[in-house]
């Protein structure tokens, strides 16, 4: 369907058909949860080799009310939109098959999120379908909304990169950070769901419980996204911590020129005043004075905050997201809403829970 058709669909209530390839993983389940409540999508297929013909609720107990069984991923149905929640390397090998099945493909892996094939040679193991990279649009609407309109190949951003980009982008856009800026240090803490449903021994509860483990002190792949889309060179570290859902980025930046707290408030308010899923949380009252993953768990919201260290001309920017929603499935649906001409917030206007035991 065209963007005009999509607008008409949103108005009349007719649903686009959608499929989720790779539906048994955590992200696949999150996609199914969101799409099941979306006013403009009808999920007609979810695929899984390991759970073929089993109910979706068997893998995702929160979706036991969804009347849908997994089917073989080799037998793709014809749909309007195909969401691929597959491991890295799968989509680039099946992209032509995906487009035979759907008009629009939304890939949540890393397969199309970098704009240049050379970057895949450096950060991954090369690319099997480099001709599609120019066609793909990065899924983060706060960064790439204009180019997402009518896009037919959407590439989901990495959760760690998403948290960092949302925190740093206002400073970049305001000219406070640029290629001449000194070192930008980004430290991310992330929950165990980032490792996926098959995360291995390091993600098992006895090993993960209680840790603050630096699993990528240097050279994490999401660093490439920050450099590609913000034009910044960053020193990037990721820690695994004892939570299930969530990613929190603490960014230490040293602007080219001195800034005041008022400058920061103006910069961030101007950047995010019209963004439906970004909240500025910076030094207010109460327990949660700065962005915190627990505050956004299960939602498509991001929280962004900052503090000024005037003596050292340092700005500390903190941002928090749910890695599976704003950092993956929710971002993908938000981008699809933009591409298809739906209301941007369609299917995503759910609040989180408080208190919660573990994000």
Burial 245-269 (b: 16+ CB within 10 A, else e): bbbbbbbbbbbeeebeeebbeebbe
CA angle 76, 84, 121 (to 5 degrees): 120
Residue whose pair of structure tokens reads 């919201």 in the numeric block: 301
Query: Residues 110, 136, 159, 318: which is the catalytic one?
Result: 159
Q: What pLDDT does residue 310 have?
A: 86
CATH fold for the domain made of 160-321: Dihydrodipicolinate Reductase; domain 2 (3.30.360)
Burial of 50 (0-12, 13-18, 19+ CB in 10 A): exposed
- Can you read off the two tokens belonging to residue 277? 């899923």
The reply to whether 159 belongs to the active site is yes
Instruction: State the Cα–Cα distance between residues 241 and 192, nearest whole angstrom.
Output: 7
With beta carbons less than 8 A apart as the criterion, state whether 356 and 293 touch: no
With beta carbons less than 8 A apart as the criterion, state whether 20 and 45 touch: yes
**CATH architecture for the domain at 3-156+325-340:** 3-Layer(aba) Sandwich (3.40)
Q: What pLDDT does residue 12 have?
A: 44
Q: Where are the domains of the chain?
A: 3-156+325-340, 160-321
Listed residue (81, 66, 70) closest to 17, CA to CA: 81
Listed residue (244, 274, 272) closest to 282, CA to CA: 272
Residue-wise pLDDT tens for the chain (359 aa)? Answer: 555 555 455 444 568 999 999 999 999 999 999 999 999 999 999 999 999 999 999 999 999 999 999 999 999 999 999 999 999 999 999 999 999 999 999 999 999 999 999 999 999 999 999 999 999 999 999 999 999 999 999 999 999 999 999 999 999 999 888 666 667 999 999 988 888 776 677 778 888 889 999 988 998 999 999 999 999 999 999 999 999 999 999 999 988 788 999 999 999 999 999 999 999 999 888 899 999 999 999 999 999 999 999 888 899 999 999 999 999 999 999 999 999 999 999 999 999 888 887 55
Instruction: State the Cα–Cα distance between residues 144 and 129, nearest whole angstrom.
Output: 22
- Can you read off the two tokens belonging to residue 14? 């007719």
């Amino acid at each position: 369907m065209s963007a005009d058709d999509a607008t008409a669909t949103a108005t009349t209530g007719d649903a686009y058909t959608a499929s989720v390839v790779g539906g048994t993983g955590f992200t696949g389940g999150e996609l199914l949860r969101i799409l099941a409540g979306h006013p403009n999508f009808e999920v007609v297929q979810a695929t899984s080799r390991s759970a073929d013909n089993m109910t979706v609720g068997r893998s995702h107990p929160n979706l036991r009310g969804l009347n849908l069984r997994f089917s073989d991923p080799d037998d793709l149905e014809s749909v309007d939109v195909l969401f691929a929640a597959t491991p890295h390397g799968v989509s680039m090998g099946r992209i032509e098959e995906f487009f035979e099945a759907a008009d629009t493909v939304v890939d949540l892996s890393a397969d199309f999120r970098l704009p240049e094939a050379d970057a895949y040679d450096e950060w991954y193991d090369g690319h099997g379908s480099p001709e599609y990279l120019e066609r793909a649009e990065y899924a983060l609407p706060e960064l790439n909304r204009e180019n997402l309109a009518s896009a037919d190949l959407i590439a989901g951003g990495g959760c760690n990169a998403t948290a960092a980009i949302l925190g740093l982008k206002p400073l970049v856009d305001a000219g406070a950070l640029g290629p001449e800026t000194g070192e930008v240090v980004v430290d991310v803490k992330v929950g165990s769901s980032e490792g996926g449903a098959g995360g291995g021994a390091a993600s098992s509860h006895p090993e993960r419980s209680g840790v603050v483990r630096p699993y990528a002190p240097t050279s994490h792949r999401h660093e490439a996204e920050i450099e590609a889309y913000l034009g910044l060179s960053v020193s990037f570290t990721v820690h695994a911590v004892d939570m299930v859902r969530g990613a929190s980025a603490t960014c230490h930046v040293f602007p080219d020129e001195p800034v005041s707290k008022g400058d920061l408030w103006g910069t961030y308010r101007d950047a995010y005043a019209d963004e439906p899923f970004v909240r500025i949380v910076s030094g207010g009252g109460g327990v949660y004075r700065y962005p915190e993953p627990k505050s956004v768990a299960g939602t498509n919201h991001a929280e962004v905050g900052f503090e000024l260290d005037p003596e050292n001309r340092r700005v500390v920017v903190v941002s928090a997201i749910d890695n599976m929603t704003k950092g993956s499935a929710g971002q993908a649906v938000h981008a699809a809403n933009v591409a298809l001409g739906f209301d941007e917030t369609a299917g995503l206007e759910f609040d989180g829970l408080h208190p919660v035991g573990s994000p």
